[in-house]
Amino acid sequence: MKVIPSLLVPFLLVACAGMALRADPDSYVPGPDSLPQAGVPKGELIKFEFAESKVFPGTTRKVTVYVPRQYNPAKPACVYISQDGVQWSAPVVFDNLIAKGDIPVLIGVFVTPGIVAAKDPKAALSRYNRSLEYDGLGDDFAHLLLDEVLPVVETKVTSDGRPIHLSHSGNDRAIGGGSSGAIAAFNAAWEHPEAFSRVVSSVGTFIGLRGADRYPILVRKYEPKPIRVFLQDGSHDLNIYAGDWWMANQTMERALTFSGYEVNHVWGDGSHNGKHITAEFPDALRWIWKDWPKAVGNGPTQNAALKALLVAGEGWKATAEPPAEPKTPYVTDGGAVWKIAADGTRSAVETGLNAATAVTLCPDHTLLYVAEGSSHWIYSYQVQADGKLAYGQRYFWLHTDDLDNESHAAAMCCDNSGWLYVATVLGVQVCDQAGRVNAILPLPGKCATSVYFSGEKRDTLYAGCDGTVYSRRLATVGVDPNGPVVRPPEPHL
């Protein structure tokens, strides 16, 4: 038998102890705030089934509404919405934290994912909508909550006759979930920060099941939104064909921090379940509701393009009488690009496109940019001495909406630094000279239909959206496509 040197014994004991701890990475124990406490008023649970969805037709889902004893219908209550129904001992936690005054008096709305029930369960399977509703981008799920579920909740009455009135302010609303439910929560806030400004994400599925792996990139490029986010994950989370949850959540936290969001996190060694977040949920709630009713804000972004362009305190403003949009010497018509001569006659200079939807010249007029709105591409052509085009390439790559493969690029303009501004379905996408989207400026509506610079100093960007023209001042100077040639700085490649 081999003898273990005495000097190694302490190290082996420590190693064995560490192995024992790692043998059960999910050994998280909820604290007293997650357990019923004597003398604490207990809230009421109202349950109903919702089966009238137009967003997800044919689905049925269960809804549980938590109403605290302290709720007074004279004042609309704050709201916490949870995916996958009641979880994390939420009603008990609400009871305890509301009694302590650690969170505002709030009404909880717990919603399960939709099911399209089989007509004959013995002969066929039901269709389960959880991944469809939760894992993708776009605002369908948010519309389900805002336009369908919450209005029904506000028709309910407690057993003692109190009607339910919910605050409609995003600053008074939080939303949370685990795994795919976490994506649904973040996505609802991302698409509608005016409706949800506080998010709790547990083992969030920020991976490539239905496109949520794009979120860390979008967060870095978009002008920051007023959202506060709490993240939880563990090093034993899933690692499958669609991605690595543990790494994806850390990437998401770094993206939010980079972009100036209010973000907090707890990392552990747990796996893909609700054990860790159940233990952390009371503190997560305290943090997302901290300083309420002070509005959720965000710090400065580290995105160099946004830092260079945005002016503090300057946002989009509706403009009653916007200036006329400047004309360019080139126009698009279906799959063709035409050159307009001084006498008004025109000649085709490109006819090989599927759907040319917008055109503009670069600042020094040596390149013509042509958007193909039915794709995510913008072509770049070299302008020849006779005005004709040569060396066309798919050059600028645009982001598209999750529910649409088209950018719907409808207009473009440039500034004197060589940045290209494109009116798209996501708002105004700002591209560098190398063809990459560096920043996205969302508008109050959904789809931008025009974009151009104007004003006395040409430092005001105008963009059309939903029949309204908005304007905002930027820290740059726009180029007049019919004005003098401007040589931009050399691009960063």
Task: Write down the domain spans for the chain.
Answer: 26-288, 304-473
| Residues ≥6 apart with Cβ < 8 Å to 84 | 112, 113, 177, 178, 181
Tens-digit pLDDT profile for residues 1-17: 344 444 444 433 433 43
For the residues 217-230, what does the mean pLDDT come to?
97
Q: What is the pLDDT of residue 23?
A: 53
Inform me whether the pLDDT recorded for 237 exceeds 80: yes
Q: What is the pLDDT of residue 9?
A: 41
For the residues 189-199, what does the mean pLDDT come to?
97
**Lowest mean per-residue pLDDT among 102-111, 150-159, 335-344:** 335-344
**Lowest mean per-residue pLDDT among 22-36, 139-153, 320-334, 453-467:** 22-36
**Nearest in space to 189 (alpha carbons), one of 273, 280, 296:** 296
Residues paired with residue 178 on neighbouring β-strands, in sequence order: 202
Q: What is the pLDDT of residue 492?
A: 79
**Lowest mean per-residue pLDDT among 145-154, 179-188, 394-403:** 394-403
Structure tokens at 294: 């002070």
Output the CA torsion sign for 185, 187, 192, 194: positive
Tens-digit pLDDT profile for residues 47-82: 999 999 999 999 999 999 999 999 999 999 999 999
Q: How much of the chain, in percent, has pLDDT values that exceed 70?
A: 95
At residue 48, the 3 state secondary structure works out as: strand
* 469 in Cβ contact with 429 (< 8 Å): no
For the residues 259-287, what does the mean pLDDT come to?
98
* 159 in Cβ contact with 44 (< 8 Å): yes
| Residues ≥6 apart with Cβ < 8 Å to 23 | none
CB neighbours of residue 456 within 10 Å: 6
CATH number 3.40.50.1820 given to 26-288: yes
Vertex 306 angle, CA 302 and 312, to 5° = 100
Contacts 24+ apart (CB under 8 A), 305-308: 305/419, 305/430, 305/432, 305/438, 305/439, 306/223, 306/439, 308/475, 308/476
At residue 393, the 3 state secondary structure works out as: strand
For the residues 463-469, what does the mean pLDDT come to?
96
Tens-digit pLDDT profile for residues 313-359: 999 999 999 999 998 899 998 889 999 988 889 999 999 888 899 99
At residue 325, the 3 state secondary structure works out as: coil
* 383 in Cβ contact with 361 (< 8 Å): yes
How high does pLDDT run on average in the chain? 93
pLDDT category at 403 given cuts 50, 70, 90 is confident
For the residues 30-49, what does the mean pLDDT come to?
98
Distance CA 336, CA 358 (A): 11
For the residues 196-214, what does the mean pLDDT come to?
97
Distance CA 189, CA 182 (A): 11
Return the CATH class of domain 304-473. mainly beta
